[in-house]
């Protein structure tokens, strides 16, 4: 072991997932998507939760110019 050097591997860069999109107050479409997401979460259907997040983000972008 004398004379041998050891190095640590380079750290892996990772990031947190994007924040959960929030509905715009007063928007019925946003509310409907948020309710569908909540219902999916209540029955542990996290694939549907993810789908609803994608759909809500698209709605926020298209209808409200955000997200």
Helix ranges restricted to H, 1-67: 28-42, 46-64
Span 19-38, average pLDDT: 97
Specify the pLDDT at position 17: 78
Residue that wins the pLDDT comparison between 16 and 51: 51
Burial (CB count <10 Å: 0-12, 13-18, 19+), residue 57: middle
Mean pLDDT, the chain, rounded, equals 91
DSSP annotation of 22: -
The answer, yes or no, to whether residue 10 has pLDDT greater than 80, is: yes
Question: Domain map of the chain by residue range?
Answer: 28-64
Confidence class of residue 3 from pLDDT cuts 50, 70 and 90?
low
Q: What is the pLDDT of residues 33-61, one digit of tens each?
A: 999 999 999 999 999 999 999 999 999 99
CA distance 7 to 36: 50
């Amino acid at each position: 072991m004398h004379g041998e050097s050891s190095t640590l591997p380079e750290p892996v860069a990772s990031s947190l997932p994007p924040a959960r999109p929030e509905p715009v107050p007063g928007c019925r479409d946003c509310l409907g998507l948020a309710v569908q997401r909540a219902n999916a979460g209540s029955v542990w259907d996290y694939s549907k939760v993810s789908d609803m997040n994608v759909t809500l983000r698209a709605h926020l972008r298209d209808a409200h110019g955000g997200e």
